[in-house]
């Protein structure tokens, strides 16, 4: 979410220059940034299996707190979790300035002040962007505020899923696909599952098989257009298996090691 957020406004302005009406079709899950993208469409087509989700972003910053017992791993910090912590203090009846100051000091001892500053900036930015995108679906300002409040905070958990009935009840412009369109979407979805190998975990040993070295080209995303054809985001490289001697509690032993020499990673026109 954090990386794509600054680009969404530019992306949707660009898309709307090429069409009079823009639809987003959701066949499965479009959570977090996917939900934010959907807000900018004129209508959202959702299948029975489709789901939207909260748009409360998490901040990944070089100064984020470290995860206990994992000294090199930094914990993402949820924007709304920080807001919820501060709101809880006032809801518990803590109102005097010295106590609230101490709560803020304690928080800043756990989360770096620069991260806290980024969190509050992100919170305002995400709400501003959501309000801007929603103008194509919702004209009533009160309804817009209610939708944003729910998606940013009131849904409670970042894992919360919103089916099409609840999305429609929220006030979003939701459309059910016809039987014919649903059949086409189902075929398209299954073709992407097969082409992008979505159900196959990445396993370098399977790619190597009995070989000591092998080249690979793995598609990770696809963008297709009637006029411009198919573009895929590819990871390409060479896997090489070596055997090295290691020393363990029971003495020396031989262990397989795999070197992944990544030669290319990016978008390429494939058809």
Cβ 258 vs Cβ 208: under 8 Å: yes
Cβ 58 vs Cβ 78: under 8 Å: yes
Tell me the backbone φ, ψ of residue 61, rounded to 5 degrees: -130, 145
For 20, counting Cβ atoms within 10 Å of its Cβ (0-12 exposed, 13-18 middle, 19+ buried), the class is exposed
CA dist list (Å): 208 to 106, 211, 220: 51, 5, 19
CA distance 232 to 220: 7
The residue written with tokens 């940013």 in the block is 152
| Strand pairing report for 51-52 and 70-74 | unpaired
CA distance 78 to 70: 19
Q: Is the pTM of this model over 0.75?
A: no
Q: 161: Cβ–Cβ under 8 A, 6 or more apart, which residues?
A: 29, 31, 51, 52, 53
Cβ 204 vs Cβ 258: under 8 Å: yes
Along the 271 residues of the chain, how does pLDDT read in single tens digits? Answer: 444 555 676 777 788 888 888 899 998 889 888 898 899 899 999 999 999 998 877 777 788 888 887 767 888 887 777 877 887 888 888 888 888 888 888 888 888 888 888 888 888 888 888 998 898 899 899 999 999 989 987 776 667 899 999 999 999 999 999 999 999 998 988 999 999 998 988 899 899 988 999 999 999 999 888 888 899 999 999 999 988 877 778 878 778 889 999 999 999 998 8
CA distance 33 to 129: 12
């Amino acid at each position: 979410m954090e990386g794509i957020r600054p680009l969404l406004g530019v992306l949707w302005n660009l898309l709307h220059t090429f069409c009079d009406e823009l639809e987003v079709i959701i066949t499965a899950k479009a959570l977090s940034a996917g939900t934010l993208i959907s807000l900018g469409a004129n209508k959202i087509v959702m299948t029975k299996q489709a789901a939207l989700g909260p748009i409360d972003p998490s901040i990944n910053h070089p100064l984020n707190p470290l995860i206990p017992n994992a000294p090199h791993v930094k914990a993402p910090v949820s924007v709304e979790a920080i807001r919820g912590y501060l709101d809880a203090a006032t809801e518990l009846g803590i109102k005097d300035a010295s106590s609230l100051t101490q709560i803020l000091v304690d928080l800043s001892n756990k989360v770096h002040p620069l991260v806290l500053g980024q969190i509050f900036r992100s919170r305002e930015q995400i709400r501003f962007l959501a309000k801007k995108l929603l103008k194509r679906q919702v004209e009533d300002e009160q309804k817009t505020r209610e939708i944003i409040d729910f998606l940013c905070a009131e849904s409670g958990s970042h894992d919360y899923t919103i089916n099409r009935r609840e999305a429609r009840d929220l006030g979003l412009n939701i459309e059910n696909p016809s039987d014919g369109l649903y059949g086409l979407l189902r075929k398209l979805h299954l073709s992407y599952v097969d082409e992008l190998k979505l159900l196959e975990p990445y396993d370098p040993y399977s790619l190597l098989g009995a070989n000591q070295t092998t080249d690979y080209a793995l598609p990770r995303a696809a963008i297709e257009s009637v006029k411009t054809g198919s573009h895929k985001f590819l990871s390409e490289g060479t896997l090489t298996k070596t055997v090295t001697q290691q020393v363990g509690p029971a003495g020396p032993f031989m262990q397989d090691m795999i070197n992944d020499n990544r030669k290319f990673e990016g978008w390429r026109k494939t058809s």
